[in-house]
Structure 1
Amino acid sequence: MNDVAELPKTAVIVEDDPDIRHLLADVLESAGFATVSVGNGIDGVRAVIAHQPLITTLDVNMPGIDGFEAARRIRRQSDTYIIMLTGLEEEADVVLGLGAGADEYVVKPFRPRELRARIEALLRRPRAGESGGAASATGREDVGYVLPAAHTEADAPAMTRTDVAARPLLDEVPAPDDGWLTHRDLHLDPESRLVRMADLELDLTRTEFDLLAALMESKRRVRSKADLTLVLRGESYVTSYFVGDADKRAIEAHMTNLRRKLGDNPASPRYIETVRGVGYRMTSESSAS
């Protein structure tokens, strides 16, 4: 292994299967990373603390502690980008991975080209503490309400205004012609990345802000889950090969979190409505509250 101290980018690979470990090392090293490989979750947490990598890949099923617990421990001490790799693709597992602090969720078997594309997209996203994203203001993007395991978006409880994650405004509500996007009493500024609802300022994660901005910009045009996945990755072209079922379930989980912060009931939405089998769009301005 190369001397990681002399290289600008380091990746930690936490994987108990030696063949997959070698494949991950090949992909990451071809992307310019020095790699540190370990075979269990405990050693993985230690390696992340010792090397402070830019990227960490985590297998879910490992001896000792599983990938979910390893992610939680890592996230408490590092803002490394976490990519979880697993043979599991149930919605509950996707939600658990995101809730534990993962930034990406890749289902095995994966193709090297797909993983490389995901890594490159991930590196375009701001990390905690970096300017230019909501993460710097609100912390990790996946902290907050997480849909309970074995539930789907349709099973989410009815939401009320008391569920809103917000704080009182210090400034006046923006005028409609000053660059803010507006839908009913919801106002979003793409430049400052602020969201205001009536007399409250919402505390959204980076992902929640980006989803809401994409929908408000599109107004009544439906955005599919695949389309929203590419928006979050910063992709400007459609490559359905790189958008799988796990990606779409992750969008559903993030959308549930966003709706809860808006106090929006998916059964009778005020802001965001689901178009079954297609995706999401903003509600009609004239529809009932």
Structure 2
Amino acid sequence: MTTILIVEDEARLAQILEDYLRREGFQTERAATGTRALQLWRAARPALMLLDLMLPELDGLEVARRVRAESDLPIIMLTARDEEVDRLVGLGIGADDYVVKPYSPREVVARVKAVLRRAGGQISPPSVLHAGPLRVDAASYQVQLDGQALDLTAAEVRLLALLAREPGAVRTRAELLAALGGLERGTDERTVDAHVKNLRRKFGAGEGLLDTVRGVGYRLKVT
């Protein structure tokens, strides 16, 4: 399923966009600050970002610059400012489209579809991931270890999916917490430690696959 990252600090507007996008079959993630947007971009690997210009912590232009420095992710900028200079600056850093508030949610959805078509029908990364003896199906929330199905929670599957995208790469607790998206709002990074502890218990003899990097986070240790 194609994931759209909504970066909007006005909760009502973000909810409306989320509702309209989900009705059209998209999966969504939401961020209310620039910092959170960057975390979710790395964790959720969306197909497109709807990016508000005025954000707490990091503004939309800075978020777009950082994303564009590493990725060609399609970006549609959302703003209440209609000055031509903002439009030019926004598009100059690689934004694919620009929508001025107040806007129709239907128009935004139409532009999302149009930008994705221009991007070649870009979709989310493959939902089935393989990492050593692990098989993680992020779409159906099914995980197998050495061919045996594991009984995992949705949160545990999301954490594993992030780790399995790049086996051996260290993921910070903040990135792993961001991967939980809306499953566990209001929690802190200790929540990640608790999930990892449960995963190790469920892995049994394979608990050594989850490697702790002290002071940073976790990685999948596969050969």
Compute the TM-score of the two structures, normalised by the length of structure 1: 0.40
Pairing of 1:103-182 with structure 2 (within 5 A): 103-126=96-119
C-alpha distance in structure 2 between counterparts of 1:38 and 1:82, whole Å: 14
C-alpha distance in structure 2 between counterparts of 1:32 and 1:93, whole Å: 31
**Residue 13 of structure 1 contacts residue 38 of structure 1 at CA under 8 Å; is this kept in 2?**
yes
Pairing of 1:207-222 with structure 2 (within 5 A): none
Deviations 1:146-166 (CA, angstroms, capped at 9, x unpaired): xxxxxxxxxxxxxxxxxxxxx
**Residue 16 of structure 1 contacts residue 62 of structure 1 at CA under 8 Å; is this kept in 2?**
yes
For 2:29, which of 26, 31, 36 is the aligned residue?
A: 36
Residue identity in the other structure for 1:109: P
For 2:79, which of 80, 86, 101 is the aligned residue?
A: 86
C-alpha distance in structure 1 between counterparts of 2:9 and 2:119, whole Å: 29
**Residue 49 of structure 1 contacts residue 77 of structure 1 at CA under 8 Å; is this kept in 2?**
no
When Rg is computed on C-alpha atoms for both structures, the one with the higher figure is: 1
Deviations 1:63-119 (CA, angstroms, capped at 9, x unpaired): 111100100111122322111000011110001111122111000010122112211
RMSD: 1.8
**Residue 11 of structure 1 contacts residue 35 of structure 1 at CA under 8 Å; is this kept in 2?**
yes
C-alpha distance in structure 2 between counterparts of 1:11 and 1:89, whole Å: 24
Taking every aligned residue pair, what percent have the same amino acid on both sides?
45
Pairing of 1:1-289 with structure 2 (within 5 A): 8-126=1-119
Q: 1:49 to 1:77 in 2, by over 3 A?
A: farther
Give the match's secondary structure for 2:28.
strand
C-alpha distance in structure 1 between counterparts of 2:28 and 2:119, whole Å: 22
**Residue 49 of structure 1 contacts residue 78 of structure 1 at CA under 8 Å; is this kept in 2?**
no
Unaligned 5+ residue runs, structure 2?
A: 123-223
Cα deviation, residue 23, structure 1: 1.0
Residue identity in the other structure for 1:56: M
Cα deviation, residue 47, structure 1: 0.7
C-alpha distance in structure 1 between counterparts of 2:115 and 2:22, whole Å: 16
**Residue 20 of structure 2 contacts residue 105 of structure 2 at CA under 8 Å; is this kept in 1?**
yes
Q: Which runs of 4+ in 1 moved over 6 A?
A: none
Q: 1:78 to 1:28 in 2, by over 3 A?
A: farther
Deviations 1:14-54 (CA, angstroms, capped at 9, x unpaired): 11100011011112212211111111011101111111111
C-alpha distance in structure 1 between counterparts of 2:87 and 2:77, whole Å: 9
Richer in helix (by share): 2
Deviations 1:116-137 (CA, angstroms, capped at 9, x unpaired): 221121121036x9xxxxxxxx
Give the match's secondary structure for 1:63.
coil
**Residue 8 of structure 2 contacts residue 33 of structure 2 at CA under 8 Å; is this kept in 1?**
yes
C-alpha distance in structure 2 between counterparts of 1:27 and 1:75, whole Å: 26
Q: What is the aligned residue count?
A: 122
Alignment correspondent of 1:156: none
C-alpha distance in structure 2 between counterparts of 1:20 and 1:78, whole Å: 26
Residue identity in the other structure for 2:87: V
Unaligned 5+ residue runs, structure 1?
A: 1-7, 130-289
Deviations 1:198-254 (CA, angstroms, capped at 9, x unpaired): xxxxxxxxxxxxxxxxxxxxxxxxxxxxxxxxxxxxxxxxxxxxxxxxxxxxxxxxx
